[in-house]
Structure 1
Amino acid sequence: MRLPFRRSALALLALAALPLQATTLLINAHIHTMDPAQPEATALAWKEDGRLLAVGSAVDLQKRYPDATKVDARGATVIPGLIDAHGHMLGLGMTHVQVDLVGTTSKADILARLKAGAAKLPKGAWLIGRGWDQNRWAGKQFPTAADLDAAFPDRPVYLERIDGHASWMNSAAMKHATKPLDGEWQPEGGRILRVGSRASGVLVDGAMGLVAEAIPPLTHEQTREAYKAAFEDAVSSGLTGVHDPGVSLGDFKVLQEMAAAGEIPLRLYEMADGNHEALDWLCTQGGHWADAGGRLQMRTVKLYMDGALGSRGAALLSDYSDDHGNRGILVTSPDAYRSAVEKARRCHVQVATHAIGDRGNRMVLDTYQAVLGDGAASDHRWRVEHAQILALDDIPRFATLHLIASMQPTHATSDMPWAEQRLGVERLKGAYAWQRFLHEKVPLAFGSDFPVEQVNPMLGVYAAVTRQDLKGQPPGGWLPDQRVSRLQALAGFTRGAAYAAFMENEVGVLKPGMRADFVLLDGDVMTVAPRDIAGLKPLSTWVDGKAVYRADQAGAPKTNATQ
């Protein structure tokens, strides 16, 4: 039906009044789009609003957009922006102010780092560190408070294990416990390690809070600064998005302030920290909140089922092979867990549950099945975070229940020196089983679990493709039948992670209409030698068509106009 002349003229005038959006064109690039319909290209065009206009050949796009601002990629490889589907942003930021214990191979090494850190602190301040791993020490035994007391008789010292599921502290710190740590009792969802009836100085999972609650909380400004440091780490590693599991309502409000001020350079997909204030607030928002700028949203709750394998807290169906009588810890009671899952479903909130052991995973699957009922085939996209060790007959249930396996490839290569001691050979068949999930057509979202592992996503791609450490060991890879292809690995950090966040129509693939989120690399992830994948570096990271990170002026892509 034709508009009357007057209305047609008014419509044309209105269109003419709209500002024309400038176009930017990336040329001289080798682009892996992750779009099956057009896997490769040499140019990208996008509008000022950060949406891709066209993906194709440089010759064609330069003809179509002759007035576009051109960015010369200098032959660099371009991939969609990388998304870490499981990384702790505030924890990453805190690594800049805490004592870094990652990589230490002895207690003496740890004490040296702690003494250097303590020298910078005022008298009486808590000395906080993270990253110790007894599996890297001779004897592989848990430490004790006595190991710290001689060097720090008065200053409280609190050190988180690398996985965040155990803490080691001195006697001065244990004096601040909210309950006496000695005796025979154990807290729900946790374990106090003792020598006889005396607390040894190591608390596991739910017991950690007995002392952690006494540590002075971060101020508002300290939280902001920690987030800013984490943002810099992320974008300089080529990340354009992070799924951040377990954020408190107070910390989320800080992020909302930062988003409103334009201070968040990447896309954050936040998960409420269990059945607490953040979930209650999210329920009042109809189960989903997003900022107008597309940089911050929350629509998920992160729940816990069990602990971690390294601290023998992962819940197993049978005893640990190296600790008979121990089957791990249920961090959340089954009744409380089901109640939280039911609440999330009522509020239309996506559920993501930490599950490491085969018993922990089975309990999650059983609960999801019971709560979803006939709705299991709906587009709920509930997730299992880690999905690390499963009984083989439980893996097909992920597909039946339409779940997402959110997994971290570097966990396999970090755990492989001792995982067989914990589990035995038979249980390894369902451990870190990426190909078994893919065979069942279960969507995979890959991440790192930083700061447990390093934030660099190329280490995850390398681990997924090779199942080797950085020395190339073991030859052929550990449990090599579970290795994935380079395309599958990259998909886990792009379109797979995007799907896990309901963002497959926004990011994860480079095609018209999608966000112009991409990374320029100094080598081709699809063709370099396998070992060289781990060493690939971002030349620049782009979000909404704007560079949020450039490696250096000499190595950065050229542009014929100011970006």
Structure 2
Amino acid sequence: MKKTFLALLAVFSLCATAQVTVIHNVNGYTPTKSQAVTRFSSLVIKDGKVVKTSEKDLSEQYPNAIKFNGEGKTLLPGLIDAHGHIIGLGNNLLTLDVRGSSSIAEIGKRLTAYAKTHKGAWIIGRGWDQTLWPGGQFPTAADLDKYVKDKPVMLTRVDGHAIWVNTKAMELANISSATQTPEGGEIIKLSTGQPSGIFIDKAEELVRRQVPTLSQEQVNLALDKAAEHLLSLGITSAHDTGIDHTTWQVYQARAKQRTMPLRVYAMLSASSPKLGEMLGAGIIKDTQDQLSIRSVKIYADGALGSRGAALIGDYHDRKGHRGLMLENQSTLESLIVQSIRHGYSAHTHAIGDRANRIVLDAYKNVFTKVGGRLLRNRIEHAQIVHPDDIPRFKTLDIIPSMQPVHATSDMHMAEKRLDDKQLRGAYAWQTFLKQGSRVAAGSDFPVELANPFHGLHAAITRQDHQNLPEQGWRPAEKLTKVQALRAFTLDAAYSAFQEYKLGSLEQGKWADFILIDQDYFTVNDDVIDDIQVEQTWIAGELKYQR
């Protein structure tokens, strides 16, 4: 199989410079700007871009073209993940992965095995979720000390909004009962008043500042590792939410060398101390549309799983607690203004209903004072929105950038954290679409698995991988197959100012597409998450073959 792939790659890497390439005998579908889905059996490509599609076999009309027989397989536009963390995913694939662990003991087993061969100064990992364990309580440093106590350990929660560290890590960070909790964060304490080893949101920095930063070499390695994985899943373009200065430098160097492994729309991290320097360099965009940097990622609140999402009312399972605002409204407005004045869009993380309301208020004030409303600003996640605030997304031209898999992975936890009234505007994709908003869909990898067919399945069924609950969770918000595909293609492209370049296989656009093993439009909804990607192409070049 590997030899076959290399041979095909050698042939089809010529496609971008070949006069014409014809992909024929395919079961092709593409969304279009007119909202309709067009079917075709032939795709004609020249210099990496779409010349035309046709229901007829066009292979004979181009006798000198490079021809590829699709063997009747279903062809879709390359999928776009509108919210992920590329370098985080790459690092996850290269470090300790504790995702899906059902107990502290299971994590301890993985940690012990990993520590035996690990050479670095710190052991870093990610993926734990205490809601999956018996009792559902936060773990402690002592729980990690049982397995590793002579080397600092830092394990990030699956959502990225809490860390769990051992005693050695707290000692290196000089953390004690006297350590002050930073605003916008929480240090979980033991009954003795000592820090437990769990640090939420901005409290994470008390420990993170001790961890060595990634070098450019490590960022390059993580980029390639992540891209290899994403291409295998049919993702040809990913929106990287919140890059640091080192990643900013690496991305530009790779784009200049024409070695970006997939298309990247990157957002600058508002928390970077070098944000001003990066904004001052202006909008970054290359002629091949491999890289676009024209937005800033801002954080308003935390996550629901760690009770950091900022709510209007109390958490149902923690009375008196309403989550954490990571920035106040004044600071949010200052960051939005800073972004807009440099021609950058402002994309703000907001999960709880209070955070979403405050962020919408911030956008409204900024638009009134300095403008910027047409910059396709986004709210990332928009998970729990008060029903009164949903129409404001449309009136303020704010794009809801949402991740369908969050609904199906969060549903049981969300029903514990929130009451039914608080859930009325939760994960409300169909409501957003009905009012005319465009939903840009993603996965939030590595918080969730990156597989976009999991996201499509969740969007269409609102069920987990066991196809439960039977009718779907809050089924009124289900999407149709056409709506879901648009959210992962054209509408995701729109949210990045790329709808005339990417997101569909229309004339003049880049020929980014995938071949899959089942017909997405005719297969039963309950098996959409089982669809496998056979091939992934970018700009008419074969980049992955199963």
Q: Using the TM superposition, give the Cα deviation of residue 180 of structure 1 relative to its aligned residue in structure 2, in angstroms.
A: 3.2
Q: Using the TM superposition, give the Cα deviation of residue 42 of structure 1 relative to its aligned residue in structure 2, in angstroms.
A: 0.8
* Worse-superposed segment, 460-469 or 336-345: 336-345
Deviations 1:421-477 (A, max 9, x none): 111111111111111111111110000000000011000000000111111111111
2:80 to 78, 83, 86: 83
Residues 111 and 147 in structure 2, CA contact (< 8 A), matched pair in contact too: no
Identify the residue that residue 309 of structure 2 maps to in structure 1.
314
Identify the residue that residue 385 of structure 2 maps to in structure 1.
390
Identify the residue that residue 477 of structure 1 maps to in structure 2.
472
Residues 337 and 370 in structure 2, CA contact (< 8 A), matched pair in contact too: no
Residues 410 and 448 in structure 1, CA contact (< 8 A), matched pair in contact too: yes
Residues 86 and 406 in structure 1, CA contact (< 8 A), matched pair in contact too: yes
Residues 242 and 267 in structure 1, CA contact (< 8 A), matched pair in contact too: yes
* SS of equivalent to 1:481: helix
Q: Name stretches of at least 5 consecutive residues in structure 2 with no aligned partner.
A: 1-15
Matched, 1:56 2:63: no
Residues 31 and 490 in structure 2, CA contact (< 8 A), matched pair in contact too: yes
Q: Using the TM superposition, give the Cα deviation of residue 45 of structure 1 relative to its aligned residue in structure 2, in angstroms.
A: 0.2
Q: Using the TM superposition, give the Cα deviation of residue 189 of structure 1 relative to its aligned residue in structure 2, in angstroms.
A: 1.1
Identify the residue that residue 561 of structure 1 maps to in structure 2.
none
Residues 369 and 376 in structure 1, CA contact (< 8 A), matched pair in contact too: no
Identify the residue that residue 524 of structure 1 maps to in structure 2.
519
Residue 352 of structure 2 aligns with an amino acid whose one-letter code is G
Q: Whole-Å Cα distance in 1 between the matches of residues 51 and 61 of structure 2?
A: 11
Residue-pair matches, total: 528
Deviations 1:334-375 (A, max 9, x none): 222211111111111101000000000001000000001287
* Worse-superposed segment, 426-435 or 383-392: 426-435
2:102 to 102, 105, 117: 105
1:420 to 400, 415, 423: 415
Residues 311 and 323 in structure 2, CA contact (< 8 A), matched pair in contact too: yes
Q: Using the TM superposition, give the Cα deviation of residue 57 of structure 1 relative to its aligned residue in structure 2, in angstroms.
A: 2.4
The verdict on how the C-alpha distance between 1:278 and 1:522 changes in structure 2, with shifts beyond 3 A counting, is farther
Identify the residue that residue 95 of structure 1 maps to in structure 2.
92
Q: Whole-Å Cα distance in 2 between the matches of residues 257 and 321 of structure 1?
A: 48
* SS of equivalent to 1:428: coil
Q: Using the TM superposition, give the Cα deviation of residue 308 of structure 1 relative to its aligned residue in structure 2, in angstroms.
A: 0.1
* Worse-superposed segment, 103-112 or 277-286: 277-286
Residues 245 and 278 in structure 2, CA contact (< 8 A), matched pair in contact too: no
* Worse-superposed segment, 144-153 or 101-110: 144-153
Residue 81 of structure 1 aligns with an amino acid whose one-letter code is G
Residue 103 of structure 2 aligns with an amino acid whose one-letter code is S
Deviations 1:184-238 (A, max 9, x none): 7321110001014210110000000101111122222122111110010111110
* Worse-superposed segment, 297-306 or 526-535: 526-535
Deviations 1:73-95 (A, max 9, x none): 10011111100000100000001
Identify the residue that residue 136 of structure 2 maps to in structure 1.
140
Residues 87 and 245 in structure 1, CA contact (< 8 A), matched pair in contact too: yes
Q: Whole-Å Cα distance in 1 between the matches of residues 66 and 262 of structure 2?
A: 23
* SS of equivalent to 1:119: helix
Residues 329 and 359 in structure 2, CA contact (< 8 A), matched pair in contact too: no
Identify the residue that residue 46 of structure 1 maps to in structure 2.
45
Identify the residue that residue 491 of structure 1 maps to in structure 2.
486
Deviations 1:136-180 (A, max 9, x none): 001000001111112222111110000000000110010122x53
Q: Name stretches of at least 5 consecutive residues in structure 1 with no aligned partner.
A: 1-18, 552-563
Residue 265 of structure 1 aligns with an amino acid whose one-letter code is P
* SS of equivalent to 1:214: coil
The verdict on how the C-alpha distance between 1:212 and 1:20 changes in structure 2, with shifts beyond 3 A counting, is closer
User: How do 1:12-51 residues align onto structure 2 when only pairs under 5 Å count?
Assistant: 22-35=19-32, 36=35, 39-47=38-46, 49-51=47-49
Q: Whole-Å Cα distance in 2 between the matches of residues 350 and 161 of structure 1?
A: 28
Identify the residue that residue 5 of structure 2 maps to in structure 1.
none
Deviations 1:516-543 (A, max 9, x none): 0111111111111112110111111111
Q: Whole-Å Cα distance in 1 between the matches of residues 531 and 338 of structure 2?
A: 43
Identify the residue that residue 65 of structure 1 maps to in structure 2.
62
- Please report the TM-score for the alignment, with normalisation by the length of structure 2: 0.94
Residues 219 and 247 in structure 2, CA contact (< 8 A), matched pair in contact too: yes
Residues 400 and 437 in structure 2, CA contact (< 8 A), matched pair in contact too: yes
Residues 275 and 340 in structure 1, CA contact (< 8 A), matched pair in contact too: no
Matched, 1:370 2:365: yes
Q: Using the TM superposition, give the Cα deviation of residue 20 of structure 1 relative to its aligned residue in structure 2, in angstroms.
A: 9.6
2:259 to 263, 272, 295: 263
The verdict on how the C-alpha distance between 1:282 and 1:121 changes in structure 2, with shifts beyond 3 A counting, is closer
The verdict on how the C-alpha distance between 1:278 and 1:67 changes in structure 2, with shifts beyond 3 A counting, is farther
Residues 495 and 508 in structure 1, CA contact (< 8 A), matched pair in contact too: yes
Which structure has the larger Rg over C-alpha atoms?
1
The verdict on how the C-alpha distance between 1:194 and 1:374 changes in structure 2, with shifts beyond 3 A counting, is closer
Q: Using the TM superposition, give the Cα deviation of residue 108 of structure 1 relative to its aligned residue in structure 2, in angstroms.
A: 0.5
The verdict on how the C-alpha distance between 1:33 and 1:472 changes in structure 2, with shifts beyond 3 A counting, is same
Residues 265 and 543 in structure 1, CA contact (< 8 A), matched pair in contact too: no
Identify the residue that residue 405 of structure 2 maps to in structure 1.
410
Q: Whole-Å Cα distance in 2 between the matches of residues 275 and 213 of structure 1?
A: 13
Deviations 1:307-338 (A, max 9, x none): 00000000000110000111000112322221
Q: Whole-Å Cα distance in 1 between the matches of residues 278 and 222 of structure 2?
A: 24
